[in-house]
């Protein structure tokens, strides 16, 4: 009886270890990656199996690309579509900060520049605006990219900058500028003021 109990306890430990490992691996995609093509990929935290990526091309242009984990391969292999190419990214078994990307037979390599776990920073995350749009804000102490998802499903990228002396509290994006302010006393809401003085509120989704 004691042997059976010990066996069940050991089996439970292995199952728990596997579950925790899978969830840990699922976080490795989020962060900033530099490709051997010269492009830079920024992936903010998102729950579920799909996520947005901001691609900064070598000419400085930016675009939003949708990515997703391949079924049954969460934390190991994902895909995204760029133009006419379907690209598959696979994490290196030996180096978790390296990804091999195959775009219709053209192979490149991503190297992690830094990791970003949005939920670890108060202002970072995905927010629903009273305007009807959704905004994803990454964790960063320097200039950063905001992903906007409009009510019609279209997406856009805005470059944002911290107001001098207000890192972590207030930033601006767009032209004319929109000002966003974080209130530590009410962390679930951001106050947004557009260039004409109109006020909107962003409420945290995750």
118-204: same fold as 31-115?
Answer: yes
Domain 31-115 classified CATH 3.60.40.10? no
Radius of gyration of the chain (CA): 20
Task: Return the pLDDT at 122.
Answer: 84
pLDDT in tens, 94-147: 888 999 999 999 999 999 987 655 445 789 999 999 999 999 999 888 999 999
* Average pLDDT, integer, range 165-190: 95
Say yes or no to pLDDT of 23 above 70.
no
Task: Return the pLDDT at 112.
Answer: 93
Percent of the chain with pLDDT over 70: 83
Class of domain 118-204: mainly beta
Task: Return the pLDDT at 120.
Answer: 53
What is the residue extent of each domain of the chain? 31-115, 118-204
At 144, is the secondary structure helix, strand, or coil?
A: strand
Say yes or no to pLDDT of 10 above 60.
no
Task: Return the pLDDT at 127.
Answer: 97
48 falls in which pLDDT band (50, 70, 90)?
A: confident
Say yes or no to pLDDT of 164 above 90.
yes
Backbone phi and psi for residue 6, each to the nearest 5 degrees, phi listed first: -65, -40
In contact, 88 and 101? CB cutoff 8 Å: yes
Percent of the chain with pLDDT over 90: 69
Q: What does 83-104 look like in DSSP terms, one character per residue?
A: TTEEEEEEE-SS-TTEEEEEET
Q: What is the DSSP letter of 206?
A: -
Q: Nearest CA to 137 among 53, 61, 51, 44?
A: 44
Task: Return the pLDDT at 27.
Answer: 39
How far apart, in whole angstroms, are the C-alpha atoms of residue 171 and residue 149?
19
* Average pLDDT, integer, range 70-99: 91
Contacts of 182 (CB under 8 A, 6+ apart): 122, 123, 168, 169, 170, 190
pTM score of the predicted model:
0.76
Task: Return the pLDDT at 113.
Answer: 87
Q: How many CA atoms lie within 13 A of 164 on its CB side?
A: 0
Comparing 5-19, 67-81, 117-131, 178-192, the range with the smallest average pLDDT is: 5-19
């Amino acid at each position: 009886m004691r042997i059976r109990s010990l066996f069940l306890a050991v089996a439970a430990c292995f199952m728990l270890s596997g579950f925790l490992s899978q969830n840990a691996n699922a976080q490795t995609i989020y962060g900033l990656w530099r490709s051997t093509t010269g492009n830079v990929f920024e992936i903010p935290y998102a729950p579920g199996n799909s996520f947005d990526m901001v691609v900064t091309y070598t000419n400085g242009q930016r675009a939003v690309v949708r990515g997703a984990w391949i079924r049954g391969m969460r934390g190991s292999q994902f895909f995204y579509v760029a133009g006419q190419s379907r690209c598959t990214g696979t994490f290196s078994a030996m180096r978790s900060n390296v990804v091999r990307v195959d775009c219709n037979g053209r192979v490149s390599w991503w190297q992690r520049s830094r990791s970003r776990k949005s939920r670890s920073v108060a202002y970072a995350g995905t927010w629903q605006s009273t305007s009807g749009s959704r905004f994803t804000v990454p964790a960063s102490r320097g200039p950063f990219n905001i992903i906007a998802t409009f009510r019609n499903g279209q997406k856009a990228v805005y470059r944002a900058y911290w107001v001098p002396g207000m890192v972590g509290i207030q930033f601006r994006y767009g032209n004319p500028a929109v000002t966003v302010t974080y209130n530590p006393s009410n962390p679930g809401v951001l106050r947004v003021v557009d260039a004409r003085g109109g006020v909107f509120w962003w409420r945290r989704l995750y």
